[in-house]
Amino acid sequence: MERFNLLIIIISIAFIGAGLLFSFWPLVLAGIALLVLYGHTAFGVSAALLFDLIYGEPTGVLAFLYFPFILFALLCVVLRIVALRVILPRGDLGTL
């Protein structure tokens, strides 16, 4: 299980690094989502805060979102909590 956690962290850092290198923010969102949804909430939220500082405030239509990466990370935290408490206990994990 420890190797799986390390693999998730490496893949997430690769996505975040590629998003930073190519200035392609959806890769950063994918890396943050991987970190948060697999249980590394502190790393995901801190990466989101870092990229909110790097990219700055959005302009145009989304100017009302002052911290979009933090909001996305918090949405992923809520989705993880809902999945763990509501969705997963109702389903039979043996059928997966």
CA–CA separation, 57 vs 41, rounded Å?
Answer: 23
Q: How far apart are CA 5 and CA 39, in angstroms?
A: 9
Does the predicted TM-score (pTM) go above 0.85? no
Number of domains in the chain: 1
pLDDT of residue 60: 77
pLDDT along the chain (96 residues), means of 10: 82 91 90 91 92 83 82 94 80 59
Looking at residue 1, its pLDDT comes to 57
Euclidean distance between CA atoms 84 and 77, whole angstroms: 11
Domain that holds residue 39: 2-95
